[in-house]
Copies of this chain bind each other. A is one copy, B any other.
Amino acid sequence: MKKLEDLQDLINEAVNKLAFPTYRAALYEPISYILSLGGKRMRPALLLLACDLFGGDVEAAISPALAIEAFHNFTLMHDDIMDNAPLRRGKATVHEQWNKNVGILSGDVMLVHSYKLMMQVADHILRLVLDIFNTTAVGVCEGQQLDMEFEERNNVGIDEYINMIRLKTALLLGGALKIGALIGGAENKDAELLSNFGEHLGIAFQLQDDILDVYGDPEKFGKQVGGDIISNKKTYLLIKALELADEKQANELSDWIALKQFNNTQKVTAVTTIYNALEVRRYAENAMQTYADKAFEALDAINLPEAHKQYLRDFADGLLVREN
Q: Can you name 18 extra interface pairs (CB under 8 A) apart from A24-B142, A112-B138, A119-B130? A: A24-B145, A24-B146, A27-B141, A27-B145, A82-B101, A101-B148, A105-B141, A105-B148, A108-B108, A109-B138, A111-B112, A112-B134, A112-B141, A115-B115, A115-B134, A119-B134, A126-B126, A130-B130
Q: How many angstroms from the CA of A104 to the CA of B137 in the assembled complex?
A: 14
Given contacts A82-B101, A108-B78, A145-B27, contact A127 B123 (CB under 8 A): yes
How many residues of A are in contact with the other chain, CB < 8 A? Answer: 33
- Contacting residues, chain B, for A137 (C-beta < 8 A): 109, 112
A130 touches B104 (CB 8 A): no
Closest chain B residue, CB of each to CB of A124: B123
9 shortest interchain CB distances as A-B pairs: A109-B141, A82-B101, A27-B145, A112-B137, A116-B134, A24-B142, A112-B138, A108-B141, A78-B104
Determine the chain B residues whose CB is within 8 A of the CB of A126 once the complex forms.
126-127
- CB pair B78–A145 under 8 Å, yes or no, is no
A119: chain B residues within 8 A (beta carbon): 127, 130-131, 134
A4 CB-CB contact with B under 8 Å: no
Q: Is the CB of A138 within 8 A of B123?
A: no
Cβ of A116: which chain B residues have Cβ within 8 Å of it?
134, 138
With the chains together, A145 CA to B102 CA distance in Å?
8
A113 at the interface (CB under 8 A from B): yes
Smallest Cβ distance from A94 to chain B, in angstroms?
13
The CA of A113 and the CA of B138, in the complex, are separated in Å by 8
CA distance in complex: A148, B104 (Å): 13
Q: With the chains together, A144 CA to B101 CA distance in Å?
A: 10
Does any Cβ of B come within 8 Å of A295's Cβ? Answer: no
What residues of chain B lie closer than 8 Å to A149, measured between beta carbons? 26
Interfacial residues of chain A within 294-320, with CB under 8 A of chain B in the complex: none
Question: A49-81 interface mask toward B, CB cutoff 8 Å, 1 = contact, 0 = none?
Answer: 000000000000000000000000000001001
A292 to chain B, nearest CB (A): 28
- Are B82's CB and A104's CB within 8 A? yes
Q: Judge whether B111 and A145 touch: CB under 8 Å.
A: no
